[in-house]
Amino acid sequence: MHHIQLSNTAFEGRNSVYVLGDGDADAPTTLVDTGVATPGVDAELRDALDGVGVALAALDRVLLTHWHHDHAGLAGAVQAESGADVFVHEADADLVAQRGSAREDLYDAQEAALYDWGLPDDEREGLLAFNDEHRGLRGDPADVTELTDGDTVALGRYEAEVVHLPGHAAGLVAYVVERGGRREAFVGDAVLPKYTPNVGGADVRVERPLAQYLDSLERVQSLDLDRAWPGHRGPIFAPSERARDIAAHHEERTARVEEAVADLAPATAWEVSAALFGSLSGIHVLHGPGEAFAHLDHLVREGVLAETEDGYVPG
């Protein structure tokens, strides 16, 4: 297995993608995630593959952890050149395949959320302009094979089990493999080693985003992994511990959100975001209030807060 890091200036630093099965006649040559669709990253991927003795055209399959541009952007281009099968969870399939109105529906849902979260006009318009500028990062559509929780994907001597971990994205999955006496998984952005994946803004299609993500963190712990290979940075050598730490972080953030509402009531998600994160720019103008909303929504469902026409108030 080869770990390749690719540039990504639009989102969260460098992306990690993985090559499996190279040189093994019994195993399909597989790429896990692809990087964002820019000419520079395309060239980086080709050079990195050449460096490990794999031509892009020789790839047999692509396993996508989720639909985000920095993970799936080059899937269509890779497939067009190699004929590789592209696998993705059914909840994200329409976005990767760019079927029908899936993309426009997502953009409409994002814009509606920005209104609901109380963004000022200039911040909302700035984010929408940012999104327009970066739409090309989604790349070309791919013809996808849809996966669901519990499916397996054959990787020659190994089989990868598909584990659905929604929260950061509706269709985020891990691919769990037992090899060399270790239980490992390619986890995308389900858990990350240095910061916490965004919940709420990263995929506005997700209902009850915080609750779903906390459930996913519990499931990561139940997988009893020896190592996790994330979508950014290096390997995680204690995945269960990292999942517990992220869950504890969200518990602390929920308490901070409750305190912010008590101080600001009535408060919008944008105002709570400002209390949590200060000023924001770029994609974080979506992620900040989205994260605040995820916690506010969770607290409303727990009966701790109430939502009024003017904003959130103590319940």
Asked if residue 262 is part of any domain, the answer here is: no
Domain assignment of residue 263, yes or no: no
For residue 194, the enclosing domain spans 2-248
Give the three-class secondary structure for 197. Answer: coil
Q: Is residue 89 part of a domain?
A: yes
Q: What is the pLDDT of residues 107-132, one digit of tens each?
A: 999 999 999 999 999 999 999 998 88
Do the domain assignments include residue 314? no
Sort 266 into a burial class: Cβ within 10 Å, 0-12 / 13-18 / 19+: middle
Answer whether residue 154 is part of any domain.
yes
pTM of the shown model: 0.96
212-262 confidence digits (pLDDT tens) = 999 999 999 999 999 999 999 999 999 999 999 999 999 999 999 999 999
Please count the structural domains in the chain: 1
CATH number at residue 87: 3.60.15.10
pLDDT digits (tens, 9 = 90+) for 264-294: 999 999 999 999 999 998 889 999 999 999 9
Measure the CA–CA gap between 259 and 306, rounded to whole angstroms: 14
Any domain includes 32: yes
CA 17 to chain centre: 13
Structural domain includes residue 13: yes
225 domain-assigned: yes
